[in-house]
A = this chain, B = another copy of it.
Amino acid sequence: MPSVLVAGASGYAGALAARLIDRHPEFELAAITSRSEAGKRLSDLYPHHRVSLVMEELDLDRHGEVDAAIVAYPHGAAAPLVAALLERGVRVIDLSADFRLRDVATYEHWYVTHPHPDLIERAVYGLTELHRDAIAAAQLVACPGCFPTAAILALAPLAEAGLIRDVVIDAKSGVSGAGRGLREDTQFVAVDENVRPYGVGQHRHMPEIDQELAALGAPIVAAFTPHLLPLDQGELLSCYVTTDRPVGQEELDLWFADRYSGERFIDLVERPPGVRDVRETNICAIHAHADERTGKVFVFAAIDNLWKGTSSQAVANLNLMFGFDEGRGIS
């Protein structure tokens, strides 16, 4: 039974990853680490995850003896640990942004000086449905951000068909997407009975969305704006696509059905989805609408930002890397 380390288990993503591995029938949760919360049980912070393991200070001599690691560190801090783990032959799922962007300059424009640019080309972008085979063969998988996960799944069929001239992506996100750190704008009183845009014109998921859409055949600059909503988990992306030529509903349905036939974690739904429909699942629910009035195509995609948007997708990828069924432990 392959052993798995979860490094950075005190944040929302790491904690959920730890829970999913802890209950996984094929993996053993070897250790969980945290810089800030070492010494506490995970269940002290997250009673509902019911993982009684104690978080430790990371010690590579002890913790590096695992078959795989899920790294849930902030950007910039993840890369050095990833490098050290790869050197020991550990297979790594990185949840940070450090290996998502192919272009170092782009990374350094949006984030910080890259600690290990040499490793970028070894990383596979971990959007399961799009890169399944490469993920299975990879030693390093860079899991997508939560917004890019939903955006790319929503737009891939149109991008691959060469239909996207322009797109506006309006994202609505629950508060867990902001992470566990104490911030004024995630205090209950700031969020409750409120909705507001954030990161306008400058959200770090932008270059990632553009990079992946370009790779699929849509070399555009997407307009992307997230909004903070009074709910804890869940993300809805409303994508408004200007197409290069008129697209009818029937044709649209075919593109999506073709692209996602056989994908068990993609739900093509007849009505626009709500985030409740996919809460605590690895599913992305998608509804595409050919809008006669405007000639545009609207695509709505709903995910759980902590599950499909982060940690359950990580486990799906880990399953692939070890030859297990993709849905083990996350269905």
Contact = CB atoms under 8 A, between A and B. Distances in A.
Interface of A: 12, 47-48, 50, 166, 168, 170, 172, 174-176, 180, 182-184, 186-198, 200-201, 206, 221-223, 225, 227, 229-234, 236, 238, 240, 242, 269, 272-281, 285, 289, 291-294, 296, 298, 300, 302
Contacts of A48: 276-279, 281
B201 A234 contact: no
A189 B192 contact: no
A207 B280 CA distance: 37
Given A166-B242, A221-B293, A293-B221, A196 B274 contact: yes
Contact of A231 (B47, B194, B206, B275): B194
Contact of A182 (B187, B195, B223): B187
Contacts of A206: 293
Contacts of A191: 188
A302 B193 CA distance: 13
Given A48-B278, A229-B229, A230-B230, A236 B272 contact: no
3 closest residue pairs by CB, A with B = A196-B274, A47-B277, A170-B170
Contacts of A183: 182
Given A170-B238, A188-B187, A298-B201, A231 B193 contact: yes
Contacts of A238: 170, 197, 225, 227
